[in-house]
Amino acid sequence: MTKIATTLERSDSTSNSLGPVKKPKRVGRWILFAVMMVVAVIMLYPFWVMIVTSLKSEAQFLAGSGFSWLSWSRLTSVIPIGQEVLSSTIVCSASIFVIVLVGLPAGFAFSKLRFRMSTVIFLLIVSAMMVPLQAILMTEFVNITRLHLTGGYLGAILVYASLGTPFSVFLFTTYFRGVPDELVEAGIVDGLGYFGALWRLVVPIAVPAIATVTVLQFIQIWDDLLVGLFFIQNTSQRPITVGLAVLAAGRTTSIPELMAGSIISALPAMVVYLGFQRYLVKGLTMGIDR
């Protein structure tokens, strides 16, 4: 009986000692959940206001009550929303293609090959990430104008590609440093060569890095206004951000119609982010973790 009582006392003392440990963990989780909910509400509230405002006519918006689909039905007659979305898609797709096409072999070279001044060249490329667009905008405009490339998509594509390539090179270099050197050496021994090892062995396992570059550059290019405004002067090829800016600068701007167009402009970036979000963390941290 004495041993049983001693065992029960020990179990009670153990349970009492574990109790205070679990409680702070639960409290911490609830606090973190509450903070995340507050942040989510703050982030989603503007989008909710956009949706509610777009479901009103101009008179209902000024009166502060009522709902209507009039703004959505009139949007296509105010601006060529379909053509502008297509223009943004063309510019984004072509720019990202160039960024990935240049960044992949450059990142592979900086991470797996040893050549003279490689570290200095890599640092110079990465330092280009620190230069803001506004600092080189006029210089780029003069250069693109002298090449007569401001009338269509090509000028904007070249500018976006030049701005996004340094980040692409940096991310691919960091990612490929986590790829075993033995894999590349085995491919070279089998006769693939460096390009064969890159495209057949390294690229298939670099999907998270490619997805990360694609998503981040898509969001940046899709939401940009300055490059599209300066370098696409053909009104029939302007992207949606420029179309919304022109609509907002009009003398008689309809706020509900502007909100409807803003929702259409924001949806593609949200869909791309949500579709590829599982690759983002892995693509950004693989090379750092190793």
**Full residue range of the structural domain in which residue 85 is found:** 75-289
Question: Is residue 169 domain-shared with residue 227, that is, in the same domain?
Answer: yes
Residue 41 has pLDDT above 50, yes or no: yes
288: nearest Cα among 175, 207, 181, 167? 175
Calculate ∠ Cα 201-98-140, nearest 5°.
150
Question: Is residue 43 domain-shared with residue 147, that is, in the same domain?
Answer: no
Question: Is residue 94 domain-shared with residue 42, that is, in the same domain?
Answer: no
Calculate ∠ Cα 158-90-229, nearest 5°.
60
Question: Is residue 48 domain-shared with residue 110, that is, in the same domain?
Answer: no
**Domain total of the chain:** 2
Question: Is residue 118 domain-shared with residue 40, that is, in the same domain?
Answer: no
What's the alpha-carbon Rg for the chain, to the nearest Å?
A: 27
In a domain, residue 61? The reply is no
Mean pLDDT in residue range 208-237: 89
Chain centroid to CA 176:
20
Question: Is residue 167 domain-shared with residue 101, that is, in the same domain?
Answer: yes
Lowest mean pLDDT among 111-120, 138-147, 235-244, 279-288: 279-288
Question: Is residue 154 domain-shared with residue 200, that is, in the same domain?
Answer: yes
Q: Per-residue pLDDT tens for 59-73?
A: 888 887 788 888 888
Question: Is residue 147 domain-shared with residue 191, that is, in the same domain?
Answer: yes
8 Å CB contact between 112 and 184: yes
Q: Per-residue pLDDT tens for 171-197?
A: 999 888 888 888 888 888 888 888 888
Q: Per-residue pLDDT tens for 245-287?
A: 888 776 667 888 888 888 998 889 888 888 877 777 666 666 5
Question: Is residue 153 domain-shared with residue 184, that is, in the same domain?
Answer: yes
In a domain, residue 99? The reply is yes
Lowest mean pLDDT among 14-23, 142-151, 169-178, 254-263: 14-23
Specify the CATH number for the domain of residue 274.
1.10.3720.10
Mean pLDDT in residue range 131-154: 87
Question: Is residue 237 domain-shared with residue 157, that is, in the same domain?
Answer: yes
In a domain, residue 156? The reply is yes
- Give me the pLDDT at residue 18, please: 46
Question: Is residue 24 domain-shared with residue 79, that is, in the same domain?
Answer: no
8 Å CB contact between 221 and 229: no
Calculate ∠ Cα 227-160-278, nearest 5°.
120
8 Å CB contact between 217 and 99: yes
